Amino acid sequence: MKIILLGPPGAGKGTQAVNLAQKLKLAHISTGDLLRQNVSGGTDLGKQAKSYMEKGALVPDDLVTQMLQRRIQAQDVKKGFILDGYPRNIAQAKALDAMLKQENAAIDFAVYLEASEPVIIQRLTGRLVCKNCGANFHRKNMPPRVEMMCDKCGGTLYQRTDDNEATIKTRLEVYRKEVSALLQYYEAKRQLHRLNADEDADAVLNEIIRLAAKA
């Protein structure tokens, strides 16, 4: 089973990906985690990515794609994966299809988590991130057991400087413009399912599991 999770910032992709991977016993592949692992591990791809990140530039598609290609060849991915944070555009979607074709595989379906702007703003303005492992928490919805300390690794939590209402609105506008073509790509392939991510996280999770059972 190979599932893609798509959605704007604050839609809950990361949370759903972790829970879905546990429920379906599949690997959770986050491109954010892949980048951090390659950089901290000092891989050749990580060193190249770090040079862009230090300049504040986006890591090129081909570097991220190469990291992903190595990741999907790992043993724990043989049963399938939940992909979170990739693809971000049609070029990446086509690259993903090509690399899976080499493995005689294909995406089973993609889920687009649709969330309203007020809900996204509420979620992101309260978001806390671990400096060490990157885990997400929320001041109200999912507070850490110890204030400003990560439950998973004990690292310090912080609020991202771009998690403010004005910046969030700008990010959402940019995201919606970028994602429209990608959604059309998966709709044309009849692989896209849209879900209301304003709903309770458990309800959304159960709906994705239902889709997986039918795939």
Catalytic residues: 13, 88, 127, 160, 171
How far is the C-alpha of 7 from the C-alpha of 112, rounded, in Å?
A: 5
Write out the two tokens for 91: 């070029």
Give first-to-last CA distance, the chain, whole Å.
8
What's the angle, vertex CA 114, arms to CA 133 and CA 161, rounded to 5?
A: 40
73-93: b (≥16 Cβ within 10 Å) or e: eeeeeeebbbbbbbbbeeebb
Residue 52 near residue 58 (C-beta atoms within 8 A) = yes
Residue 118 near residue 91 (C-beta atoms within 8 A) = no
How far is the C-alpha of 179 from the C-alpha of 11, rounded, in Å?
A: 14
Write out the two tokens for 192: 């896209």
HSE-CB at 165 with a 13 A cutoff on CA atoms is: 4
